[in-house]
Chain A
Amino acid sequence: MGEKHVEVKHLSKHYPPDIKAVDDISFEIEKGRIFSMLGPNGAGKTTTVEILEGLRTPTAGEVFVLGEDILRGYSKIRSRVGTLPQNFEPFDMLKPWEAIQYWANLYDRRITKREINELLESVNLSDRKNLHSKKLSGGERRKLGIALSIVNNPELLFLDEPTTGLDPKARRDVWELIDSIRDRGTTIFLTTHYLDEAEKLADDVAIMHRGKIIAEGAPGELIERYGKGTSIVLENAGRTGLKMLMDMGIDAELDPINSNNVIVTVRKHSDMKSMMARLASSDIPVTDIYTMRENLEDVFLSLVGSKMEDGVLKQ
């Protein structure tokens, strides 16, 4: 077990009269890992991250960040933590290089022009450094926000929904940026309502729903634990193929989207090889065979009973 950068024990945050924004949650984040808190809007993600940032006071529970109890010693670790709040917008009339210099000064860091340029280079904003921030695109503004959040070289970085509202290209750019920050050894606490984002970036995921953590683990573990398994698709096998599989004692079903295809679900990853061998040796007429691995979306659907689109639960 590595060094813990965050330890949360039985954390609760209640608001009158009886709103349980966060309801008795516990989790840990190890040094150097990306921990993603995944959930729909209103699940309690931002409340949790703001408690960890020292911006809200918990109703109950214990929170240790970088070894310090946040209720007593947050001032000791403030300079070691970076923050990107939800829906961050930079100061409109400051240029990116000015904003970085300003923010470094607020952390008592003397930053040289070379260091500013390196930081801008790392977030791909070198050629935009002399524009007023209001002229930057949404993705560029968010990248500037991330640059500001790491201006103090934090050991622990809180990113609260860093890609919300961005187009797919800008989201992928931000993902690359987050990956590169992790590569420097920074521990990252990432909240998101994008399932693919959590799956792509996170080492550990906690799925939050109605103030509670309903599942926690590495994305692969969660898929294995809560998913139905990996699907093997027999293209154009049709009803004939389905009957042949049943006769072989293999559990299969018609694809609900394309009834020409037959789907065989393998629960355990370790059984995959033998199943593929059995299918290959059969005479089932197919035009192609491929696998479809389940993802966090399937896990989320299985746990919550609803799909999630842009942070909103869909029935």
Chain B
Amino acid sequence: MVPTLVGITVVVFAIMAASPGGISSQALVEGQNLEPQAKKALMEYYNRRYGLDDPPPIQYLRWLNNVSPIGFTFNEANEISGFSLLKGSDLGESFRYGRPVAGLLADRVPITLLLNLLSLPLIYVIAISIGVRAATQRGQAFDVGSSVIMLALWSVPTMLTGVLLIGFFASDQYWHWFPTAGLSEREALDMPFLPHWGSAHDVLILFAGVAGGVVLALLLSRRGGRALRSVTLALLGGWAGYLMSAQLPGADWQAAPLLLPALGAAVLGGIGLLEYPGLRDAAIASIGLVTGILAVTPLMEEAFVRGFLLDRLWHLALPVICLSYSGFAFLSRLTRSAVLENLLSDYARTARAKGAPESLVLWRHVFRNSLLPLITVAATLLPGLLMGSVIVESIFSIDGMGKLAVEAVKDRDSELVLSITLISGLLNLAGYLIADLAYALADPRVSYE
């Protein structure tokens, strides 16, 4: 692990050292408008930090010493004065922000991690619920349909989804349901953490709406026949589509009042046609939840404060969707092939032969074994998520590490770029480590003696 980390720094430093121009000339170009003293200070800082008059290997060792938390200390004359275990790591200073890089990263990394950690469970839950079903129903409609849809979803570039989501659901031209930028509204910072309602009466009404919506939805999903389900949902979808077309401010879409109800009816009706009870229940219950809340909202008084938490979730909804869909598309195909392989295996046949019910065979025997490739992949999922957050943060203007990376690259803020690459490598290695540990937990045969 440590050799890999050192290797990462070698690669990163080599890129920088091999770049035409280099640091000092960059500083000169950027320092053109500085006072002579400030310019001199900048040059001295660089000479001290990188020893630009030394050969590159020495420069590298110096940089490594600066970055690593333990190492040698230098005195005023730039000579080694001692070895310290507690000197702390110095990531340098950012040009653009004029702040230490470490402080900048401490602000930004948690935001990116929040996005990624919210996406991960979502990815796994959806991927497993679709992949396992597709494997057990191999060759049937659900399998074929979900396979094609997942492959297509996997191919949709994140930028396209982000742009479409922000364009349709966050801009004034269409439906302004979500915020366009940032992680929270200005006023939300002054709100209490949890949402507050004006009176107990309001809470009761909301509760009634939610409960009524969900219970009716579940009744429809469980008790109603397939025809009843899909017709009811299609009607609901058509109505929702009509409402959406009525909300459109612009008049440049003449077809919208026809197209949107048809689309809504088709999508919701399609959910009604699903033969997969778990997924259908979840989908219909969430439709019921939304319908219930929307139905009782006009009955409530105005004194609702959404609070910091709801505000944050409201801001995170679109970015998290954007970040997670390609992950679950990829993972569900992997789940399918893993479960399929184990379903056809000898031990699964033995379990069936001894009379174990199919659900037990699936979840106790087959699924446990199919988890292993999924855990292995978690390590490779993290770099994907980090890359995705670069795009998502740029689109949704979230001040995380990804946006910082793009800005740093545009400004050729070398210290910042190097540190970000280093940190992302570090996060990745942490992901590998966690995946290795989880692997040992899931598979008792694996041990790291």
Co-assembled chains A and B? no
